[in-house]
Amino acid sequence: MWVFGYGSLIWNPDFPVAEQRIARVHGWQRSFCMRSIHHRGSIADPGLVLALDAHADGQCDGVAFRVAPGHEAATLAALRERELISSAYLETHVPAQLHGGETVQALCYVIDRDHDQYCGGISLEEQAEIIARAIGGRGSNRDYLWATAAHLAQLGIEDADLTTLAERVRLLCR
């Protein structure tokens, strides 16, 4: 069983991993397009979390994790509890091209554009303002952004929008 991580799963998979590889999915873009009312915000003051948003010419680099054998059912249950908390994500499988060329089918959580938490198209400035102030059950929205940006950089994965957003939030939080 493979799982594709593009946000917090990169730095906190929270399941037994047998192998992890840099991977790319086509037809999707990483985006702060989901209002977070649980983990990184609240109903009164929603934050923003990353989701894969469908984009015909898009691609997203992340990490494919191979779940340790024998832990597939427990991992699936834990991921569903974590990721499907508000049903804004859709559980799907995507072809993930591993660094080196092999392609695997990976479990992935993508945004449901019909869900009321979908908020694609928000400017980077507005995203920064929301992320700078929001706090949820798993902590501050800014820490989520900074951890994701730092881990992408450590892995050598470029994401210009995320880098710009992290820098802008740092300025707002001074």
Q: Which of 83, 125, 126, 167 is catalytic?
A: 83
CA within 13 Å, CB half, 84: 10
Task: List, as one string, the DSSP characters of 47-91.
Answer: EEEEEEEEEEEEEEEEEEEEEPTT-HHHHHHHHHHHH-SSS-EEE
The partner residues of 107 in beta bridges, in order of sequence, read: 3, 93
Q: Are the C-beta atoms of residues 92 and 80 closer than 8 Å to each other? A: no
Q: Would residue 102 show up in a list of annotated catalytic residues for this protein?
A: no
Looking at the annotation, which residues are catalytic?
Answer: 83
